[in-house]
Structure 1
Amino acid sequence: MTRTGERAVKSWLRTPSWIARIEAPDGQVVGAGVLLAPDRVLTAGHVAGPGRRYTVRLVGVPGLDAVPATVREDEHVPQRADAFGDRSGDLALLRLAAPLPAAHTTRLYRLAAPHGPVSMYGFPAGDDGGRWHGATLVAARGRDSQVQLRPLTPGELAAPGFSGGGVVDHATDQVIGIVLSVDEGPGSAFSYMSPTETILRHLPQVAAWTDGAEAVDPRLRSGASAAAGALDVPFATELASWFRGEGWPVLVTVAPARSDRAWTLNRAVTLADRELRTDRNTSGFSHDPPETVPPAGAHDLALDVKGLTAGQVMDRIAARLGIRDDIRPERLGALRVPLAAVLVGVDQAAEPDALLGLLDRLARQGARLLLVFRRRGERADQAAESLVHHPLHDRWSRLHAELDRIVDELGPGLDRLRDRVLPGPGTRQLVEQAEAGVRRTRMLRAWVAHTPEREREPGRADLLFTFEDAADRRRQRLEQAIGVLDARLRRREELLGRVSAEWPLCRRRAAAHGDQVMEAYRLYEHALSLLRHTPCDIEPAEAAVERFIGFCSASAPSTSPSAPSAPPAPTQPTAPGASRKESAP
């Protein structure tokens, strides 16, 4: 919302009043910005830096004069590359020499797991008035959680004049970040956005102009002091693995309050949040084993659910995802990016059973859930059984059934078709790959049947997912190959029908011309021979049928005096065990 209570954008047909065009002293447009306060404009760090003067103009507000602006050292975060080569920072706050009307300001909005369509406003070369470009959010990139933007059309790739411009989410109509950069070089297809929470990580003062629920419950945050608790390394490693998206998507664990495990949990939750993970707190854990440090932006919500009802938990999840009107669990299943949530104190919720029912539904829709109980007991065991062990066992069973279907049903089905018809020139590779997939699946089935129990543990579920993906690809390829061969077999039956139906008519017409009976019979026998040959090669058989039909209708080139007659049907000896012929009716 703006300060006047209006949406960030009322209409996609006009220029937003909060969009700022940033110019160098010579009048050249260097980028765009977002007016957050009468005297503050947020932009990209490579657009504006300390030691230079700029001019800011609200192009969507007629009659307003341009305002001089500068950037202070402490409000400029240059773009850097971290140890892994990922981009980081690239943010700046411009201070205006004179305030602009407050009615034209807007606010940033925190939005977890950005998804769906967005629009950005910028100033490509030759268009100083600016324009909207559409895009979809793809995924976070790198440790700074910059988000990739895929243009809706090739012409909507964000040009350099979009740098610093606001990105508006269509579902909420809120500004959820700013454009940072564009892929360089020919064939580039992406630009990048710094989401609100990453902006707050680098420029915490921007929180004064930010709305939206914070990701981490204040009761679950940890400070940078390593003396606050002792790191439980095995537990921290397990948590970091879950935050990286490894293993089974639901992790059920126990962490008593005011214990080393509780402190280790709070540390992981804090480091996994875009907004809370700063250079200051990460330096406090710089000597910890790297396998215990989760990536930033690894969860959408971390909530202490002690005393909360299932409905209140759903409200908090909906608020983080920007769902305002119809708050129902099934809506989460339609999200492009699955929910990743940490819920602590599940056994201390106001409605533990109802909450577990809600969580079971979310898990079935693909949500990643870290469920923390404060005490060991029946509820924790029930949650582990219903959300982890039972569905994991079912997935292994379904995998085994799928492998059986590939090896015992689809593979033999393909073989039967291969015995009757050959693949076409354009599908031969597909059929060969499908046959190779059956052989590999036969070996995989044997391995799965003797998989050690330790390989079936929740933390090793990535192995299951890999096998499922392989089985799914092989099944789809087999079904496609079977479909292709089945279509060719149906074509063979159609050609047989044409030949059989045409022969009596053709024989009578040829008899009227005396010496053409033998030629008609020869062409008929040749076409029938190719069609009855197994496996049937459709292309030469179809050509023979067309010659026969053409002769019978007196339209084939073979009936013309100047055209050569059809070649005689080749006679080849049949070797033992080679191709065989079906008897003619």
Structure 2
Amino acid sequence: MTGTGERAVTSRLRTPSWIARVGTPDGRVLGAGVLLAPDRVLTAAHVVRPGLPYVVHFVGVPGVPGVAATVREDEHVPQREDAFGDRIGDLALLRLAAPRPAGHPTRLYRLAAPHGPVSMYGFPAGDDGGRWHGATLVAARGRDSQVQLRPQTPGELAAPGFSGGGVVDHATGEVVGIVLSVDAGAGEGPGSVFSYMSPTETVLSHLPQVAAWTDGAEAVDPALRTAAAGGRLDVPFATELASWFRGEGWPVLVTVVPARGARAWTLTRAVTLADRELRTRQNTSAFGRDPRETVPPAGGHDLALDVKGMTAGQVMDRIAERLGIRGDPRPERLAALRVPLAAVLAGVDQAADPDALLGLLDHLAQQGARLLLVFRRRGGHAAQAEESFVQRPLRARWTRLHRELERILDELGPALDERRDRVLPDPAAARLVDQAEAGVRRTRMLRAWVDHTPDREREPGRADLLFTFEDAVERRRLRLEQANGVLEARLRRRTELLGRVTAAWPLCRERAAAQGDRVMEAYRLYEHALTLLRQTPCDVDRAEDAVERFVGFCSGTAPGREGAS
């Protein structure tokens, strides 16, 4: 149990006291909210407007009348576009005319975009008591890092009455944000296929006063923050960093950045802008004239640490804290995360034990983590990390890709040709086989391209090209294996039918001879079945029909001249 009062499962059975229903004085429900202080309710800005009266009901406390509330201009952040054209804001704080008891509020919790299921509380039409809906976090949207929520079941589609409602992370039981907006899904009726959450740190970037009611570790060490423009921007380095924060290229970026100078300022600028909480209207405006390709998205990292003097264990503890991993913070637990960890670690060569830290980082990289590793000096540990985390695994992936191409073209493709020459697929599998054949032709072209790929296309920053090739080759390999399996099953069936025909013929001939003139009829059926089975490519369905007629005749259950050729 946590400070929020409930874990998600418990919450579904008992409505917490912090859940608010926001409405008009005449009783119309506008949305939901979260009681953060005795006299403050956090909600979405599109639910309320400054200067108008509202009434807030706390449905988890039966028998309590609604409380009058208003919102001030300086605590209302309407949705708008930032300097880069992305939608931001849509947050507001309601002030209650009468405070609630001290034990009723909850607290927000900083958590690197939660990686598992969540629950949100809202008030769909006709349900003034409200309900929990389950959801899964899908992805951040825009530079304001609005996190997309997908309902767990069709019956849990979001509705406008959920706007402003609290979102509870199942793993920790903490309130990690609020439902920011509910987008009407095309053709989905009054519900919505998706809704969007504003994480706690995004709330704090727009309403810093909410920090008084927030727990959880901040993502960025003070040494890696920059307050405003004024330094000299290293544009190529800034572009490289922004690309990494967008999730592009090779997942591990190893770079050397002295403690001072243009590269150091460029690094802190990128880390600051990539953090949900530190990215504010002021600094986005200050950097608004910078080239767009140098500006990373908010939410581009889960944490940014200056690891100078830190042990590997201390680093793992900080990572676990940011991800909400409680108890034993073993690196193996990161494998269960839906979204890979993205971490910036500065001063790796100045850690208490750089070799031990690199060992931990190697484990995290193998778990799929995205790592930006900053060293202070060239050579030594920096060169070791570049080879271990980037160059060697990148070469191995290109080699494996080439091996998979060879397997498709030298093994699976010829096997498909050989099987298709001998047997036809059944109608249901014909499309699969055609697609598999087309994949072989495309793979032949891809191998020619890969064999002549310029070195610049194999650089870590261009690794998305490699990933695209790997995905395509994987799909083609699986399709070929399925198609070969389908045709192999048809070949086995053909062999079984041949066995039935040849085994049945001697007995059938004896029975037909005993009836005088039926030998020729039996022979015609026998020859017809054998002809179809020996045809290449064999139509197994047609041959099976002929075999059944022959076997039926032999057993005396078929009419005399059925199936004669």
Give TM-score scaled by structure 2 length: 0.96
Partner of 2:284: 282
1:439, distance to aligned residue in structure 2 (A): 1.8
For residues 242 and 135 of structure 1, the distance between their equivalents in structure 2, rounded to whole angstroms, comes to: 28
- Counterpart code for 1:186: G
User: CA offsets per residue over residues 331-390 of structure 1, 9 Å max, x none?
Assistant: 111211001000000001011000000111111111110000111121110010101111
Q: How does 1:154-553 map to 2 (within 5 A)?
A: 154-184=154-184, 185-187=186-188, 188-224=192-228, 226-227=229-230, 229-553=231-555
1:217, distance to aligned residue in structure 2 (A): 0.7
Greater shift, 84-93 or 122-131, is seen at 84-93
1:82, distance to aligned residue in structure 2 (A): 5.3
> 1:6/1:20 Cα in 2 relative to 1: closer, same or farther (>3 Å)?
closer
Partner of 1:28: 28
For residues 200 and 126 of structure 2, the distance between their equivalents in structure 1, rounded to whole angstroms, comes to: 29
Greater shift, 524-533 or 445-454, is seen at 445-454
For residues 287 and 137 of structure 1, the distance between their equivalents in structure 2, rounded to whole angstroms, comes to: 33
Contact 2:546 2:563 in 1 (8 A): no
Task: Determine helix, strand or coil for the equivalent of 2:203.
Answer: helix
Greater shift, 197-206 or 444-453, is seen at 444-453
Q: How does 1:133-172 map to 2 (within 5 A)?
A: 133-172=133-172
Residue correspondences, number: 560
Q: How does 1:9-88 map to 2 (within 5 A)?
A: 10-81=10-81, 86-88=86-88
For residues 85 and 546 of structure 1, the distance between their equivalents in structure 2, rounded to whole angstroms, comes to: 70
Partner of 1:576: none
Contact 2:113 2:199 in 1 (8 A): no
- Counterpart code for 1:242: W
Task: Determine helix, strand or coil for the equivalent of 2:337.
Answer: coil
For residues 554 and 102 of structure 2, the distance between their equivalents in structure 1, rounded to whole angstroms, comes to: 88
1:49, distance to aligned residue in structure 2 (A): 1.4
For residues 191 and 490 of structure 1, the distance between their equivalents in structure 2, rounded to whole angstroms, comes to: 51
- Counterpart code for 1:230: R
> 1:350/1:150 Cα in 2 relative to 1: closer, same or farther (>3 Å)?
same
For residues 315 and 152 of structure 1, the distance between their equivalents in structure 2, rounded to whole angstroms, comes to: 31
- Counterpart code for 2:153: T
For residues 175 and 19 of structure 1, the distance between their equivalents in structure 2, rounded to whole angstroms, comes to: 11
Task: Determine helix, strand or coil for the equivalent of 2:506.
Answer: helix
Task: Determine helix, strand or coil for the equivalent of 1:72.
Answer: strand
> 1:203/1:343 Cα in 2 relative to 1: closer, same or farther (>3 Å)?
same
Contact 1:273 1:298 in 2 (8 A): yes
1:65, distance to aligned residue in structure 2 (A): 2.3
Partner of 1:574: none
> 1:84/1:431 Cα in 2 relative to 1: closer, same or farther (>3 Å)?
farther
User: CA offsets per residue over residues 249-282 of structure 1, 9 Å max, x none?
Assistant: 1110111112211111000000111111111011
For residues 421 and 328 of structure 2, the distance between their equivalents in structure 1, rounded to whole angstroms, comes to: 56
What RMSD, in angstroms, separates the aligned Cα atoms of the two structures?
1.6
User: CA offsets per residue over residues 16-43 of structure 1, 9 Å max, x none?
Assistant: 1110111211111111110000000011
1:421, distance to aligned residue in structure 2 (A): 0.6
Contact 2:123 2:130 in 1 (8 A): yes
Partner of 1:562: none
Unaligned runs of 5+ in 2: none
For residues 553 and 463 of structure 2, the distance between their equivalents in structure 1, rounded to whole angstroms, comes to: 65
Contact 1:50 1:70 in 2 (8 A): yes
> 1:18/1:419 Cα in 2 relative to 1: closer, same or farther (>3 Å)?
same
1:6, distance to aligned residue in structure 2 (A): 4.2
Task: Determine helix, strand or coil for the equivalent of 1:333.
Answer: helix
- Counterpart code for 2:76: H
For residues 466 and 7 of structure 2, the distance between their equivalents in structure 1, rounded to whole angstroms, comes to: 45
Contact 1:2 1:106 in 2 (8 A): no
Partner of 1:579: none
For residues 139 and 452 of structure 2, the distance between their equivalents in structure 1, rounded to whole angstroms, comes to: 37
- Counterpart code for 2:201: E
For residues 279 and 96 of structure 1, the distance between their equivalents in structure 2, rounded to whole angstroms, comes to: 27
Contact 1:247 1:459 in 2 (8 A): yes
1:446, distance to aligned residue in structure 2 (A): 2.1
Task: Determine helix, strand or coil for the equivalent of 1:126.
Answer: coil
For residues 206 and 79 of structure 1, the distance between their equivalents in structure 2, rounded to whole angstroms, comes to: 18
User: CA offsets per residue over residues 159-201 of structure 1, 9 Å max, x none?
Assistant: 1111111111100001111112223132342111111111111
User: CA offsets per residue over residues 75-99 of structure 1, 9 Å max, x none?
Assistant: 1112235577754221111000010
> 1:492/1:453 Cα in 2 relative to 1: closer, same or farther (>3 Å)?
same
Contact 2:5 2:16 in 1 (8 A): no
- Counterpart code for 1:120: M
Contact 2:39 2:98 in 1 (8 A): yes
Contact 2:142 2:297 in 1 (8 A): no
Identity, % of aligned positions: 79
Unaligned runs of 5+ in 1: 560-564, 570-585
Contact 1:343 1:372 in 2 (8 A): yes
Give TM-score scaled by structure 1 length: 0.93
> 1:236/1:395 Cα in 2 relative to 1: closer, same or farther (>3 Å)?
same
- Counterpart code for 2:187: P
User: CA offsets per residue over residues 270-300 of structure 1, 9 Å max, x none?
Assistant: 0111111111011111221211111111110
> 1:84/1:374 Cα in 2 relative to 1: closer, same or farther (>3 Å)?
closer
